[in-house]
Amino acid sequence: MATGRSTQHNPNPAGGTRRSRGRGIPDATVARLPLYLRALTALSERSVPTVSSEELAAAAGVNSAKLRKDFSYLGSYGTRGVGYDVEYLVYQISRELGLTQDWPVVIVGIGNLGHALANYGGFASRGFRVAALLDADPAITGNVVAGLPVRHTDEMEEIVRDERVSIGVITTPPGAAQQVCDRLVAAGVTSILNFAPTVLNVPDGVDVRKVDLSIELQILAFHEQRKAGDDLADEDGEVPSAPAAAVVSGRGPEQGHGYEEAAG
Amino acid sequence: MATGRSTQHNPNPAGGTRRSRGRGIPDATVARLPLYLRALTALSERSVPTVSSEELAAAAGVNSAKLRKDFSYLGSYGTRGVGYDVEYLVYQISRELGLTQDWPVVIVGIGNLGHALANYGGFASRGFRVAALLDADPAITGNVVAGLPVRHTDEMEEIVRDERVSIGVITTPPGAAQQVCDRLVAAGVTSILNFAPTVLNVPDGVDVRKVDLSIELQILAFHEQRKAGDDLADEDGEVPSAPAAAVVSGRGPEQGHGYEEAAG
DNA sequence: CCATCTTTGTGCACGCGTTCACAAAGACAT
DNA sequence: ATGTCTTTGTGAACGCGTGCACAAAGATGG
Ligand SMILES: NC(=O)c1ccc[n+]([C@@H]2O[C@H](COP(=O)([O-])OP(=O)(O)OC[C@H]3O[C@@H](n4cnc5c(N)ncnc54)[C@H](O)[C@@H]3O)[C@@H](O)[C@H]2O)c1
Ligand SMILES: NC(=O)c1ccc[n+]([C@@H]2O[C@H](COP(=O)([O-])OP(=O)(O)OC[C@H]3O[C@@H](n4cnc5c(N)ncnc54)[C@H](O)[C@@H]3O)[C@@H](O)[C@H]2O)c1
């Protein structure tokens, strides 16, 4: 899995990594909790009363030991010899993630992507409520999208304040993203989900996560190329002492990393 | 399931320093290369000839030492005392990522999101070409989206074969995702970018990356809750060792989740 | 050619995350 | 109560990623 993280890269690395809190849940665990929650919700809808770490891990696509360790950070909610109570775990994880409360969200930039997000039903299902849709283009403001009127960015500050919005979603063109971000932060937003392919600069205390389709595709392309190169080369994991001097001008075969066996 | 079951992990294979020049680029580095590439492209467009690791790192939002180490996996492309040649680095990273070749992509599920992706200009800009748009709904097939006709999934196998598609993008409802995935893989696709909130099961040799808006929001909500209610600790006697002053939040983990690597 | 200055490339240490492996805990049967 | 069986919770080891700090490399100037 790479990868991750999110990717994400703090736009402001200057502020050291202070994350290691005494009792805080590890970031890697937090990132998996939604995954567990989704699997648990599915079980809940099928009225499954309990689930073992092995079963749940399979459903979530992770290692069972990892899952148990993740849950151990939340507390001891399991019963040895039985497993975990589905409903109870759903509640605990929801509470831990803060999903038991309402999170108003604004989406800025109602173009192709903003449109799709506004129409996405998955928002409300987890306590996220679209408080407003914002755009700077007068030709767009006023339109009704997904039952909501697109309002002008002039109203951003007022909306963020009145609706107590703390999460903003940026779906503007990259050139406008930093500016929109600054304005959101100034208005009081402290968490930003950025879809624009730009590195956002934010002050301490503001979280930024990014979703970048282009990066994802490029990562896939890298591995795809490596797979193709492996096919051309031998399947032997060991590589004949690649000569350092070789300038490799012509597509050198990418062999597998050392960490993965190669027997195909 | 990740099925990284080849846990034979040779702790220390015979060859000691195979990795350095033998080219096994760490996943974390691969995930950052697109970021560097974007920053370099911007510099290139401004006709900047060279850039130091410090400047480029700032533009990419990463630590300069990390950037230098990342580049060291690609080779020694810098000049001490000067920096890196922008054009040369653009080429090297592009080549490493496989962007010097054409990557035909199919998008399956032309609803809200598929529509937005089809209209997204960022595809072609990096060598990714939308080879076809596919949908199972007869009411949708035949429509022209972004200049391309939406074709029926019946044609999937033919298209994947004829166009040599190795990357598939899934934007169907979650219930159909696994089925679509299986079919894509059977047709010959070996890399999948999944937007549906589902854990995809794939055989070894197939890479899956996921983009999950809901998970991103939930991670933000978690941190938001912590920022807002650090003092509102519940019954489980937490020990707020650190005062709220240095909240500084933790950066989310790398987004590299959902990446399942399998030896082929 | 030598001195100085800038910046790369990397050895090293450290912390986080993952995984193994197993003792402890509890369910269940007798 | 006792024993057996299942599954959790976690100690410990290990590998990866990160960032510091510095020597080496090369540019630049005299
Ligand atoms: N469409 C996709 O599938 C897709 C995929 C990946 C990334 N992205 C990124 O998402 C962003 C949006 O993509 P899109 O296809 O929806 O673009 P789009 O051009 O269709 O929409 C952008 C919208 O932002 C609005 N906007 C521009 N400047 C603004 C400002 N300062 N304040 C508020 N609104 C402003 C525009 O009026 C427009 O409505 C882009 O950065 C794009 O790179 C899009
Ligand atoms: N819209 C968003 O912003 C958004 C955000 C995050 C995640 N998602 C996820 O992305 C996926 C698509 O979202 P959407 O809003 O576009 O949904 P949508 O319902 O608008 O579109 C889904 C499309 O998939 C097609 N489809 C259904 N079954 C299919 C099959 N077996 N083969 C081929 N095509 C099939 C449907 O005909 C439809 O056109 C969903 O899984 C959703 O959860 C969407």
Q: Each residue of A18-58: pLDDT tens digit?
A: 333 346 899 999 999 999 999 999 999 999 999 999 999 99
Pairwise CA distance, residues B167 & B173, whole Å: 19
Whether B222 shows a pLDDT value over 80: the answer reads yes
Chain A CA closest to residue B60: A199
Chain B residues lying within 8 Å of A205, measured CB to CB: 227, 247-249
Q: Edge to edge, what strands does the sheet with A83-85 contain?
A: A50-51, A83-85, A78-79
Backbone angles phi and psi of B108, in degrees to 5? -110, 120
Residues 5-24/A with CB within 7 Å of nucleic chain C are: 19-20
Whether A90 shows a pLDDT value over 70: the answer reads yes
Task: Determine the distance in angstroms separating the CA of A38 from the nearest CA of chain B, rounded to an integer.
Answer: 8
* Tens digits of residue pLDDT in A69-78: 999 999 989 9
Of the listed ranges A117-131, B25-39, B97-111, B221-235, the least confidently predicted one is B221-235
Pair A92, A109 in one domain:
no
Size of interface A-B (CB pairs under 8 A): 339
Q: Are B32 and B72 a contacting pair, CB within 8 Å?
A: no
Compute the Cα dihedral for B99, B105, B110, B111 and give only its sign. Answer: negative
Of the listed ranges A213-227, B126-140, B202-216, B249-263, the least confidently predicted one is B249-263
Q: Edge to edge, what strands does the sheet with B191-194 contain?
A: B144-145, B148-152, B128-135, B103-108, B167-170, B191-194, B207-210
* A168 marked as part of a ligand binding site: no
Q: Are A56 and A45 a contacting pair, CB within 8 Å?
A: no
Going by pLDDT thresholds of 50, 70 and 90, the confidence category of residue A252 is: very low
C-alpha angle B255-B259-B263 in degrees, rounded to nearest 5: 150
Q: What is the pLDDT of residue A232?
A: 61
| The pair of three-digit structure tokens given for residue A240, joined into one six-digit string | 């004949």
Domain-terminating residue out of B72, B96, B120: B96
Domain-terminating residue out of A81, A96, A111: A96
A253 burial via Cβ count (<10 Å: 0-12, 13-18, 19+): middle
Q: What is the pLDDT of residue B76?
A: 86
Pair A126, A248 in one domain:
yes
Pair B159, B237 in one domain:
yes
User: Which protein residues have a C-beta closer than 7 A to any atom of strand D?
Assistant: A 13, 17, 52-54, 64-65, 68-69, 71-72, 76-84, 258-259; B 9, 11-12, 26-29, 62-63, 65-66, 68-69, 79-82, 254
Task: Give the residue whose CA is nearest to atom 36 of ligand 2.
Answer: B109
Q: What is the pLDDT of residue B123?
A: 82
Angle between helices A213-232 and B86-97 (to 10 degrees): 70
Going by pLDDT thresholds of 50, 70 and 90, the confidence category of residue A230 is: low
Q: What is the pLDDT of residue A57?
A: 98
Of the listed ranges A103-117, A247-261, B243-257, the least confidently predicted one is A247-261
Backbone angles phi and psi of A63, in degrees to 5? -75, 140
DSSP label at B105? E
Whether B232 shows a pLDDT value over 80: the answer reads no
> Over A103-115, what HEC string results?
EEEEEECCCHHHH
Pairwise CA distance, residues A23 & B244, whole Å: 15
Mean pLDDT of chain A: 83
Pair B204, B172 in one domain:
yes
CA B134 vs. chain centroid, Å, equals: 22
Mutate to test the pocket of ligand 1, among A113, A133, A156 (most ligand atoms within 8 A of CB): A113
Which CATH number does the domain housing residue B188 bear? 3.40.50.720
From the CA of A196, the nearest ligand is 1
Pair A147, A85 in one domain:
no
Pair A205, A222 in one domain:
yes
Pairwise CA distance, residues B219 & A98, whole Å: 9
Helix (H) or strand (E) holding B145: strand B144-145
* Of the partner residues B205, B220, B241, the one whose CB lies closest to the CB of residue A167: B220
Contacts of A247 (CB under 8 A, 6+ apart): none
Q: Tell me the residue range of the domain where B16 lies.
A: 2-96
The pTM of the full predicted model, rounded to 2 decimals, is 0.87
Q: What is the mean pLDDT of the segment spanning B175-193?
A: 98
Q: Edge to edge, what strands does the sheet with A167-170 contain?
A: A144-145, A148-152, A128-135, A103-108, A167-170, A191-194, A207-210
Pair A215, A247 in one domain:
yes
Number of domains making up chain A: 2
